Amino acid sequence: MKKTLPPSGNPQGLSRRALLGGAAAAGTLVALDVHAEPAPGHAERAPAPAPGGKPFELEEATVSELQAAMTSGKHTARGLAERYLTRIQELDRSGDLPLLSVIELNPDALAIAAALDEERKAKGPRGPLHGIPVLIKDNIATADKMQTTAGSLALVGAVPSRDAFVVERLRAAGAVILGKTNLSEWANFRSTHSSSGWSGRGGQCRNPYALDRTPSGSSSGSGAATAANFCAVSVGTETDGSIVSPSAASSLVGIKPTVGLVSRSGIIPISASQDTAGPMARTVADAAALLGVLAGIDPNDAVTATSKGRAQADYTRFLDPNGLKGARIGVPRERFFGYHPATDALVERALELMKAQGAILVDPAPIPMAAKLDEPELEVLLYEFKAGVEAYLAGLGDKTRLKTLADLIRFNEEHRDSELPWFGQELFHQAQEKGALTDKKYRKALEACRKLSRGQGIDAVMNKHKLDALVAPTQAPPGLIDLVDGDHWLGSSSTPAAVAGYPSITVPAGYVAGLPVGLSFIGRAWSEPTLLRLAFAYEQASKHRRPPGFAPTADLRKPTS
């Protein structure tokens, strides 16, 4: 939930930093204890070793590299799944400060992978994700042996009757869904002072770069797990910041698509006007490959019809190492810089690098009306959450006796020790007070959001300066986990694109004391090809991504790098 900052901080007020936001042993899956809580305190321990004390064979392996290894016969889909599952078992829940990024594993993963190996032999691969191990966020429905709970104990046992559309797309592409990732419970739309990455079902997820730091959220588990090389790629969801924020916090590439490019059906909702699923990956190329699989028109999500003629089957074709040359890029300094000097220093280096690669910077290029988005956005989300979550509960039929937001509030109160031990459900209470989506107050707030973020916001600045994209720090380095007082938030750049329903992509921009910092490229609706071209060119010129070391805490002696 957004935080109010002191006058000396970022004037952004509220921040959507965490909204939308097991294992194999000898070939046998072992269920994770999903109720396990992390040990109290911040006791130090040595960085976690790779399984067996040896380097992980698949560390930082890309989708194309894994695909080539299966084509050559060096690896099989089952073999890849076994290796990732073993790594999850040995690294995700070990030590005094466990990562807790994976909430549940798919008991059918190895059988699915083996069947895909046989299919490859008989018919060849279905496409770039055939046999590729993927993790998905635990608010994305699967009609299988796994749960879909948004991290809440309230939905344990309420198995959906069908897969989410994006899961159907993944299965059709031949991806191997290894399991579900932990998240900020209810995609962090429950409390105004929550700790990102905490859920009643999964405990407190941690950042693999420094285990006492937040993974950010709400797609916290997807970010931490992908950074830790527990999968090839993952799927997160975002309402405002919950793909780009955890991606930045774990030195990943995260794509928040245009609303309508990727279906939301079967995903536990917050906002019909802002929600979307999207890729989280270690490289721009991997994120682009996953985006092409996720995108598609879904008859159960009417907004996806707007992507007709705009969606691409293969986004990797837009990747160009020279893609910054001649690009006009705006720098919206007002509100999106200035809240963390070391972050600004890294982004200044990034701007210089982009200029060296031939980009034309328009600096400054403020986004008009950005300061006026917070109040109407929250009003819209409160209304849409109540309507959306009750529609989702109704779709579960007799799988759950919880049918209303009031029922969820009551469940949490009745299970206070497990659901409300650290923070409350203020947002649930605020949403419960809202009426129907026909209310004039809701319609007025929604109209204000669209007008201020689009025609008077992103489109206005891009038209004025004839820009290809805007670029800004994604957020500050990840802060310390604080279950007592909640997240300490400085600022971010996710809100304009989130409210507009426009795309943004974050890429690694460097490190402060070994803690990742991300850089966001923001554009108009349906500009994913342009943003991917720019992000890829920057990634190739900068090469900032490096794997995490599972350090117990940040090394404050390290300089900005």
Please count the CA atoms within 13 angstroms of the CA of 178 that sit on its side-chain side: 36
Q: In the beta sheet, which residues pair with residue 105?
A: 179
As a whole number of angstroms, the longest Cα–Cα distance in the chain is 65
Catalytic residue among 218, 220, 234, 263, which? 218
* Residue 218 · residue 278 · CB < 8 Å: no
Catalytic residue among 137, 180, 386, 434, which? 137
Listed residue (537, 515, 147, 165) closest to 350, CA to CA: 537
Q: Could you tell me the CA-to-CA distances from 204 to 244, 478, 486 in Å, in that order?
A: 19, 15, 12
DSSP state of 217: S
Question: Angle CA(516)–CA(521)–CA(524) in degrees, nearest 5?
Answer: 150
Please give the Cα distance from 389 to 434 (Å, whole number): 13
Provide the CA 15 distance to its chain's centre, in angstroms. Answer: 16
Strand pairing of 469-473 and 328-330? parallel
Q: Coil, strand or helix: which one is 255? A: strand
Please give the Cα distance from 170 to 190 (Å, whole number): 29
Quote the crossing angle between the two packed helices 374-395 and 440-450, to the nearest 10°.
120
* Residue 332 · residue 12 · CB < 8 Å: no
Please give the Cα distance from 259 to 227 (Å, whole number): 25
Two structure tokens written together for 368: 């008009």
3-state secondary structure 395-444: HCHHHCCCCCHHHHHHHHHHCHHHHCCCCCCHHHHHHHCCCCCCCHHHHH
Clarify whether 251 is annotated catalytic.
no
3-state secondary structure 265-307: CCECCCCCCCCEEEEEECCHHHHHHHHHHHECCECCEHHHHHH
Clarify whether 219 is annotated catalytic.
no
Please give the Cα distance from 114 to 84 (Å, whole number): 15
Count other Cβ atoms within 10 Å, centred on residue 426.
Answer: 14
Clarify whether 218 is annotated catalytic.
yes
Listed residue (532, 531, 533, 526) closest to 308, CA to CA: 526
Question: Angle CA(38)–CA(191)–CA(457) in degrees, nearest 5?
Answer: 120
Catalytic residue among 15, 219, 242, 265, which? 242
Region for 64 from its dihedrals, namely left if φ exceeds 0, alpha if ψ lies in -120 to 50, beta otherwise? alpha
Quote the crossing angle between the two packed helices 405-414 and 374-395, to the nearest 10°.
90
Residues in CB range of 438: below 8 A, 6 or more apart? none
Exposure letters 301-333 (e unless 16+ CB within 10 A, then b): bebbebbeeebbeebbebbeeebbeebebbbbe
Catalytic residues: 137, 218, 242
